[in-house]
Amino acid sequence: MLNESSLDFEQLQRKPLKEEIFEVLHKRIISGKYAPGDWLRQEEISSQLGISQTPVREALDLLVSAGLAEREPFRGVRVKDLTADEIAESYGMRMFLECSAASTAAERITGEDVQKLVSTVEKTRNLITLNDMSMQWHLNREFHLAVVAASGNSLLSRLY
């Protein structure tokens, strides 16, 4: 029988099914299996993965909120086809927010915040293949959210 002292709780990070599906779809988009403009059919994806449509719908919502897909009323969700200007604008906005967060975090960061950032960076050390892309994306987001949180600016956290 397992007892609490024999478990490494960091290894037991279970993700909600919608996040696992998001990672599968994210990987397919990044690898080009789904091209810009392709429709992401909820029924088709749930059938391919052998799961119900509810977590697929939730994963599609995550893709939309991440900016990788767009929802068209009464038609569905499709992979977003970004223009060069949209990509440049999003990186510019992200740079503005992240620089502000990093500057403020540098003044307010705690030892615990630093440890969290170091731990996240360590987890990325061997993520170098296309199959690692989704985890790399997840950890990159985790790192940047931790910097924003370390800024202590709740409005910046909500905007980010």
Question: Residue 10, Cβ neighbours under 10 Å: how many?
Answer: 8
Average the pLDDT over 27-34 and give the result: 88
Q: pTM value?
A: 0.59
**If you average pLDDT over each of 7-16, 37-46, 125-134, 136-145, which comes out highest?**
37-46
Whether the CB-CB separation of 134 and 26 falls below 8 Å is answered with yes
Asked if residue 5 has pLDDT above 50, the reply is: no
Range 15-79 has CATH code 3.40.50.261: no
pLDDT at 31: 82
Most distant CA pair in the chain, distance = 58
Q: In which band, very low, low, confident or very high, does the pLDDT at 113 lie, cut at 50, 70 and 90?
A: very high
Please report, rounded to a whole number, the percentage of residues in the chain having pLDDT higher than 70: 92
Q: Rounded mean pLDDT of 116-140?
A: 89
- The contacts of residue 28 (CB under 8 Å, 6+ apart) are 34
132-160: pLDDT as tens digits? 887 888 899 899 999 999 999 999 888 88
> Which whole number is the average pLDDT over 28-39?
91
Q: Residue 16 gets which letter from DSSP?
A: P
pLDDT band at 13 (very low <50, low <70, confident <90, very high): low
The domain limits of the chain are 15-79, 84-159
Using one digit for the tens of pLDDT, what is the confidence trace for 40-99?
A: 999 999 999 999 999 999 999 999 998 899 999 999 999 999 888 988 898 899 899 999
8 A C-beta contact, residue 108 and residue 150: yes
Separation CA 65–CA 63 (nearest Å): 5
pLDDT at 77: 97
